[in-house]
Amino acid sequence: MVRCADGSLYTGIARDVARRVAEHNSNDELAANYTRARRPVVLVYQEKQDTRSTASKREYAIKQMGRKEKVALIAAASVQL
């Protein structure tokens, strides 16, 4: 999950998270339409999943959350670091 310059949160999946964040920030062809107009983006949360299928299911579950739930998820993860 990345936080955009306007404070919004964008959720997606990627095998190489660092590369994907860099693409969102610099590559107009590879960046998501949503993030192109909201640069720069900063990685604020990530989870590792064993398969693409489980990653997609988790992405969907996170996208169904409200903003408060997402912020709580980010906060809980930063406390664990």
CATH number of domain containing 59: 3.40.1440.10
User: Which region, left, alpha or beta, applies to residue 41 given φ > 0 means left and ψ of -120 to 50 means alpha?
Assistant: beta
Tens of pLDDT along 6-37? 999 999 999 999 999 999 999 888 999 999 99
Q: How confident is the model at residue 81 (pLDDT cuts 50, 70, 90)?
A: low
| pLDDT at 27 (0 to 100) | 84
pLDDT tens for residues 42-75? 999 999 999 999 999 999 999 999 999 999 999 9
Ranges assigned E (strand) in 1-81: 2-3, 9-10, 42-43
Q: Give the pTM.
A: 0.90
What is the model's pLDDT at position 80? Answer: 65
Q: Which domain covers residue 41, as residue numbers?
A: 2-80
Alpha carbon separation from 1 to 35, 78 (Å, rounded): 12, 13
* Structural domain count of the chain: 1
How would you list the strands of the sheet with 42-43, edge to edge? 9-10, 2-3, 42-43
